[in-house]
Amino acid sequence: MHEHRRDVVIIGAGATGLTTAVRLRDAGLSVMVVEARDRVGGRLWTDEIDGQMYEIGGQWVSPDQTALIETLDELGLETYSRYREGESVYVGSDGVAHRFTGDIFPAGEHTESEIQRLIGILDGLVAETDPAAPWEHPRASEFDRISFRSWLEQESDDAEARDNVALFIADAMLTKPAHAFSLLQALLMAASAGSFSNLVDADFILDRRVVGGLQQVPLRLAAALDEGDVRLGQRVHTIRWSDGGATVVTDDFTVSARRVVVAVPPNLYSRIDFDPPLSRLRHQLQQHQSLGLVIKVHATYERPFWRDAGLSGTAFSPYQLVHEAYDNTNFGEGRGTLVGFVSDEKADRVLALGAEERRATLLASLATYFGPEAVTPVVYYESDWAADEWTQGAYAASFDLGGLTRFGAAQLVPVGPIRFGSSDLAGHGYQHVDGAIRVGRRLASEILAEAGADADAGAGAGADADADADAEATASAAGTSDATPFLSPPPPRRSA
């Protein structure tokens, strides 16, 4: 088994892990990124299905996502606006499609007024909520012990208004039923985007896309690292750690390092054997976080036929299987693509169907919005991240009732030399790529501060001691740095 040594080893080659790695490497530390998948990107994945390019995972960029926008500029990536010309479609509880413009659904005068009133109340609560520490809200304990659904029922007697406001958080963001998470968790979701109104505004939250796909961010970050510093197809099964350092173990090699970053979703922490075990608090914390469930439905047609009818491709309904849909036509393409989303208990129902029946059922839901042409795409695909071994859900992890106040602060605390981070743990940009980048930057800054290193550190403290490494390369990599090279085994482990 090969043995490697680095200053920092990062587990997970998504946006968080690679952002951390590039920043540390640029500051003079040696790094290795270890990834179980055979690709980089994590929940960002651009692929071709039957010759059609689809963004299987995350894809949109909004104006408030300044960390992502800065990264796109640094990497030389261009963006383009999502198509939104024309009218949107809303399907009410009666199953009838209604065309409309603006942000508020055409659900009747009283219901529309109630939706606006509820959004106003939520905007006020969100303004009081720090997304980096929602548990510090003066009423955090109260808000974390009532479900979002129950709170809405207390606030309004209009069922359709409640269903529509719930959609913005439950179906569209956390991808869990509104009775399964707290009001405080909903406020965190909205605060991470700046306001509840921002979540309601599809033209804001789903503003732009990256030409060629958003996975180019992690691909280009990985390309900026040195050869051999990103290892794919390597599942980490053990971390042996003490206060002085850690050894990360895969089936093929070990990496000894002063510090470790676990940059995977929280539901995957338990796939790693920590030796000694993590604390009781950590074990409990991880059992109270879970990912939601959503199917991303891609349907491509010879032409964007809905535009001919004066439709934007934007559609919503809390009563349809596909609760939201958008024109997702790629930059410069003549074909037209719709993307729709099916979440939580609705996804449970359709996933119980066979593949052909599920396809027909989901296309029929799209046809409710856009007409019979929607049932005959030339390419069709379903993104099901819950079936992915190294994700097991989407979009991100959230706490159950009471979990955010009980465990929220603890999830950010390092364990010896180990730090945890991903978009699931972000404040601003929570569950988005922007949040993943912000967390990566924060982790790198904390490690550099702790190591006493800065951007002028030497060219790579901590030589790679591979058995087959070239002696000259090893010597040139072993420069001096305040981050002491980890050239001996970790100190003895503390007792469990």
Same domain, 271 and 419: yes
Residue 127 in contact with residue 77, Cβ under 8 Å? no
Same domain, 427 and 446: yes
Q: Using CA atoms of 487, 490, 492, 495 in order, give the dihedral in degrees to the nearest 10.
A: 170
Tokens 């180019």 found at: 216
The strand ranges marked E within 263-319 are 273-275, 289-291, 294-301, 311-316
Q: pLDDT tens, 159-175?
A: 999 999 999 999 999 99
pTM: 0.90
Looking at 380-432, list the stretches that DSSP marks H as alpha helix, in order from N- to C-terminal side: 403-407
**Residues 49, 320: Cα–Cα separation, whole Å:** 26
**Residues 76, 129: Cα–Cα separation, whole Å:** 34
Same domain, 453 and 421: yes
CATH number at residue 314: 3.90.660.10
Average pLDDT of the residues of the chain = 91
Range of the domain at 468: 2-42+216-278+415-477
Q: What is the pLDDT, as a whole number, of residue 491? A: 32
Of 323, 360, 358, nearest to 339 (Cα)?
323
Residue 339 lies in a domain: yes
Q: pLDDT tens, 195-211?
A: 999 999 999 999 999 99
Residue 133 in contact with residue 432, Cβ under 8 Å? no
* Average pLDDT value for residue range 65-80: 98
Q: pLDDT tens, 82-119?
A: 999 999 999 999 999 999 998 788 888 999 999 999 99
Residue 314 in contact with residue 281, Cβ under 8 Å? no
**Residues 117, 99: Cα–Cα separation, whole Å:** 22
CATH number at residue 442: 3.50.50.60
Residue 133 neighbours by CB under 8 Å, 6+ apart: 408, 409, 427
Residue 393 lies in a domain: no
Same domain, 37 and 58: no
Same domain, 326 and 339: yes
Q: pLDDT tens, 227-273?
A: 899 999 999 999 999 999 999 999 999 999 999 999 999 999 999 99
Same domain, 230 and 194: no
3-class SS at 66?
helix
User: Residue 52's beta-bridge partner residues?
Assistant: 49
Q: pLDDT tens, 377-405?
A: 999 999 999 999 999 999 999 999 999 99
Residue 68 lies in a domain: yes
How many of the other CB atoms lie within 10 Å of CB of 119?
23
Residue 96 lies in a domain: no
User: Residue 466's beta-bridge partner residues?
Assistant: none
Same domain, 135 and 174: yes
Which stretch of DSSP H or E encloses residue 52? strand 52-55
Looking at the chain, how many residues does it have? 496
How many of the other CB atoms lie within 10 Å of CB of 475?
10
Alpha-carbon Rg of the chain, whole angstroms?
24
Residue 438 lies in a domain: yes
3-class SS at 125?
helix
pLDDT band at 474 (very low <50, low <70, confident <90, very high): very low
Residue 304 neighbours by CB under 8 Å, 6+ apart: 83, 313, 327, 329, 335, 336, 337
pLDDT at 80 over 50: yes
Q: pLDDT tens, 264-315?
A: 999 999 999 999 999 999 999 999 999 999 999 999 999 999 999 999 999 9
Between vectors from CA 53 to CA 51 and to CA 58, what angle results, nearest 5°?
150
Looking at 338-410, list the stretches that DSSP marks H as alpha helix, in order from N- to C-terminal side: 344-351, 355-370, 403-407
